[in-house]
Chains A and B, each alone.
Chain A
């Protein structure tokens, strides 16, 4: 880069030097060069002003000997029908040097002229010029140029003028000999550019759009129409219009504007300060807090559990703990819708009767619970074992005439527990109706609502047992003591029922449900009585009407927690070791009479026993 720059600089310098030397050389050696070219005499111009006369001018040139007056002569020749030949200039103007004037007699329009410049002493023609007169007409400038103000704009900035003139007096326009075209020029004074307005004919012209604060210069010239030779310009006329003092109107406007702006600013500031909060919100909106869709956060803060539960459960994102703990609930299937509907008892029964986990040993009950497990608040130790039962109590099923079997709702039934009565009672679910109070002091709870038909009350226990496999753990009470939540569908393992079974054979043909709560304070009462009471001689009929009065005090002996299962029925119902009594057999349910079993420790059913029991 630097090299290139230096090279260019060098070149420039060399060029300049050579040019300088050349010019110097040229000027310094005058002898070698001709000082200046010789200018011969020649015609400078020929002009006609009015198309009636014309003049020709010439210059003598640089020759010194020809500059004397009279050394040159002008000869002219006109091409008309009468060829006269060359004539000398008719009139050499005395006052003007080197001018030849042709007057009217020598001027013929539409005739071509040729003028020659000859040396008088020698026969040398220096110059010749041919023309026709109409082509050398340059009219005189118009005269009488003046202007008048047409109007001034409202704002006082612009104005219009009307320029008038008169045709040159030399031009004979009146006779129509010459028709002139005018051209008006105007410019701002001392500007370099002229604006032109061409006028076809006439003697006036309007100029629009001039500005009041400037001075204008106007001039005019003319030419013959259909010819191209303009004459000289006229004298310039200066135009200036004093600007109307519009400051008065401008000043208030400016003031108004300023005041308006100030007022607006003031208002804006006021608004900003008064509505600061709102503006802050608008400009910087608060970040919205995380929100659970569909749930009012206020409710979360203040709401009650019920509402929350309902809300959240509806959101499908919150599962009650009972769900977790009772997975088998998912698999519950409703056998019959009627069973759910008609068994109000089952509600209470279910509430009352809770099964332990694993009692059935079969998690898949296949029967859905009609009732929401949520109804069981206290789930510990409470299992709806009934739900696992898929089979209905055979006794119940066979005792179809009484029919409540389908109505039997599946309710978790309360397993036989070895717990004391009170405890078991405590474990009982929410509520049960006290149907009667035994003289012994036991409270007989009825399972259902008040409007329960008596037919429904009894015999829930007559349900079937659970499956034998799961039954083992079940502790059957000798005395039906606690909740009798029996679901014929599910089966159950309740000693009472067992007793009923064994005693009555198939006393539980009808399968109404009954939740029987007995609160026998006395333990180990004789179950017989109770059973006996329970088991009416006419099993079936009695069953149906087995009502709260059924269990007199004697009938409600405290049921022991455990009962030995003596036998498993062919329908897989457990036959508990009871008293030796035998219930009136339900014909459809032949009951085997259990062989008397050796006394077994109450409470536990060993597998060996079970084997023995199994038919």
Chain B
């Protein structure tokens, strides 16, 4: 009797899970396969924005932890680290500038930024893991950050495809397939330290988050804008 009961319960659970899966977390069907639930663009944007928010939070935490260790002066940040390796990427510096940008360009900027940080973040994680100054939490955060950048890049690619699919943006978005490896180096050619990297990445993650939000509210303004 107990067997039958457990089996029935399992069956019901599977049904429920299946139903929930159908409603909530169905996989994205790239080619519009019949039978799989297609996520809406708004949902995609929401996921991506959540990802970017999480990434930015991580970068902020790591940066504040670094500040505790190194205790830079009040004006230290702006004087010493004026140039990040992503500084040569033209990014809108304000809301109006961002809004003035076309969707494709905005998307392209986002992608460029995310591409630029793939390698440096892994380097950062490795260097942090080797150093004794950081506890395991910091190195884990760095690792998570690098993974998240990777995930976010993929997500933004999907969003871009979706948008192109829906005809919201043109297909002229370039720079996605062939990323240019930007070496994180300052103008003088020196490699940036961990703290500099973190400072730069924190800024760039904030940029990405904001750009994504702007993009989302421009394209699918009905939810949460």
Contact = CB atoms under 8 A, between A and B. Distances in A.
Contact of A113 (B78, B99, B204): B78
Contact of B216 (A107, A111, A130, A176): A176
B99 A130 contact: no
Tier of interface size on chain B? 35 or more
**Secondary structure dominating the interface of A:** loop
Contacts, number: 83
A200 to B, nearest CB: 10
B180 interface: no
Contact of A175 (B56, B77, B88, B214): B214
Interface residues of A, number: 31
A51 interface: yes
Contacts of B82: 79, 112
Interface in A191-231: 201, 225-227
B192 interface: no
Contacts of B75: 114, 128-130
Nearest to A224: B206
B74 A226 contact: no
B94 A107 contact: yes
A146 interface: no
A175 B53 contact: no
Interface string A176-193: 110100000000000000
Contacts of B49: 176
A81 B84 CA distance: 11
Given A81-B88, A112-B77, A179 B53 contact: yes
Given A111-B93, A176-B213, A177-B214, A130 B78 contact: yes
Contact of A172 (B95, B203, B209, B224): B95
A134 to B, nearest CB: 6
A176 B78 contact: no
B87 interface: yes
A110 interface: yes
B186 interface: no
A201 B46 CA distance: 14
Interface string B84-115: 00011001011110110000000000000000
Contacts of B94: 52, 104, 107-109
A130 B75 CA distance: 5
Nearest to B210: A177
Given A81-B88, A128-B75, A132-B78, A175 B213 contact: yes
A226 B58 CA distance: 9
B93 A80 contact: yes
B25 to A, nearest CB: 21
Interface string B40-83: 00000000010001001100100000000000001101110010
B48 to A, nearest CB: 12
Nearest to B95: A177
B225 interface: yes
A451 interface: no
A226 B78 contact: no
Contacts of B207: 110
Contacts of A225: 53, 57
B109 to A, nearest CB: 12
B217 interface: yes
A375 interface: no
A121 interface: no
A224 to B, nearest CB: 9
Contacts of B79: 114, 130
A249 interface: no
Given A175-B99, A176-B217, 11 more contacts: A79-B82, A110-B93, A113-B78, A130-B79, A131-B78, A134-B206, A174-B225, A176-B216, A177-B98, A179-B213, A226-B60
Interface of A: 51-52, 79-81, 104, 107-114, 128-132, 134, 172-177, 179, 201, 225-227
6 tightest Cβ-Cβ pairs between the two chains A and B? A176-B213, A112-B78, A130-B78, A108-B93, A130-B75, A176-B217
7 contacts: A110-B207, A173-B225, A176-B210, A176-B213, A177-B95, A177-B210, A226-B56
